Structure 1
Amino acid sequence: MSVDICTFVRQATGAKTAAKRQAIQRLWSGYGEIARYALTGGVYDSVVVKHVQLPEGKAVGDLSHQRKVRSYQVETVWYDRWAGRCNGVCRVAHGLACADFGGEVVMVLEDLDAAGYSRRRRRVSECDIVACLRWLAEFHVNFLGEAPEGLWPIGSYWHLDTRLDEWLVLDDPPLKRAAAAIDRALKASPYQTLIHGDAKLDNFCFADHGVGVAAVDFQYVGGGPGIKDVAYFIDSCLPPDACERRETELLDVYFAELRRSLHTHGKSAKAEALITDWRALYPVAWTDFHRFLKGWSPGHWPRDSYSERTASRVIRQLIPEVGYGPIRE
């Protein structure tokens, strides 16, 4: 380790001592770790440190490597410039210090466990789902119309511009041909905001008391219509049959929270047009993620599955001449 993490943590927090207490998790593909550090003599008793170390031997031209490197640069910008604008409804960790030490990136963050958000979920209750949808609605309204300066121009880790490798190997001619039209439809929404970009269940921390949540992992935060986060979140926490059965119900919950947040932020004049636009884009956003999954992990996607039938409808809507076989309801 070339970086003196403990010294950096002490400087960032004003603590007298800092010591690594617990390795929380390794970063994807061996790019470092997230760890908890215990402190004494300062404001905080503990902090979380995200320490990014680029693996040796990665080719400079490797698209996956370039994407990961850029994602950590984006995350430092998020905590430096943007995170402080989130409120208690769309709670995030406070960024205490971020630095790039010649390729090693270190982020010192508020410990959300110590702040009262220590619970994680493998299975969700109705209250959990509503809490996460409320967080997303508040986040999207909070940054509505903002230009994603320093962040990804297009948020989410699966968008077409950065996933050409997966598109090239996609063995689904109609979906492959429609991919650009799907991407254009999402980019063309007049209601752009910041999206989390990886709003899966694993990235939400639930409050010890009450129903609040906080979110982590902002490597892919950037511009886009908020409905992209909603589609991805629902897909992350429910099985396909429940996603289909509860689609209208869950979208109604999200849009009710969105309408409430728009009113709170003095943006109610945009409510109906925004909701109409994003509701219509929900199947498009779902199909966009499905396009990535089919290229990344082909597996077996039955033609009568929810995702395949959704893709069929979207393709017929956007470019009817492509076709997609019969739709089985």
Structure 2
Amino acid sequence: MAADDMTSGGGNAPALNLISRMKAGLIGQDALIERLMIALLTGGHILIEGAPGLAKTRSVRRLADGLECDFARIQCTPDLMPGDITGMQVFRPDSGDMSFLPGPLFHNLVLVDEINRAPPKVQSALLEGMGEGQVTAGGKTRKLPEPFMVIATQNPLENEGTFPLPEAQLDRFLMHVLLELPEEQEELAILNLVEDELKANVAPVGSILDRATLSAMKQDVLKVHLSPALKKYIVALVMGTRRDTNDLSVGGRIRHAVSPRGSLALAASVRARAFLQGRAFGLPEDVAALAPDVLCHRLVPTWRAQAAGETARSLFSEVLGSVKAL
């Protein structure tokens, strides 16, 4: 596949059109938009973390508006029950029978707002859906629709009444994206954008990416070539989190290193990024750009490292700085 095959035949054009529409309504969130599209093209799930007011929910709604898919939003609270998201058996007075009422997980695109407020039982039900593409509800195992994508958000500022996500569930997310506060010019642009939207009062336009086109693009992503040297670079980054030569090494400060699922996730993400940029091959720049968001949430620092103020991101930055592309 030649590099221009991605664009000349319209291969990635629908995705680029959707990205353009999302950027028109989201200021300073280009990286988030790219990562949302990567997750969509790879069939992955994404966790977005940032302070309130950084357009986390808005970005997901923008994505949903551009897709031909069913969209649902789950607002997590400590009293949420598994049946509230998976569905439950209900009695039908007209027929006298019990029937299954699907929950919000039976949608293509699911926004799980403030996921760390959901109790462990709900997180477990969500984990089954994310990992297996199915849920157990009403005494039966039921398949979730295709495509199926979970976009979860969490607020790092509040800890009271929250339930930290277990490592097993964090590992199910393709990426963990951290949002920063906007710069001065971006803040001004946001004010102008919202003011213009309020004045215009324009109804949202229809979807621009249907299911058949999305499915075709996913197949094109799988055709993107990763050279042996690039694969070795990915593996070297992952192995860098596992080395334990002495107490001063990065590996010695990591309690739980990246598993093979991390390598697979990074390779898939690199393919999707190359596809979006119109290339039929991945580059080391793709790996370096995506590795922190794809791998860091799969790391768990030791208690000693955490006490010293180190985080998974700071530890992985050492790995990224020391491992060079071949």
Q: TM-score, normalised by structure 1?
A: 0.26
Q: Which has the higher contact order (CA 8 A, sep 6+)?
A: 2
- Using structure 2 for the length normalisation, give the TM-score: 0.26
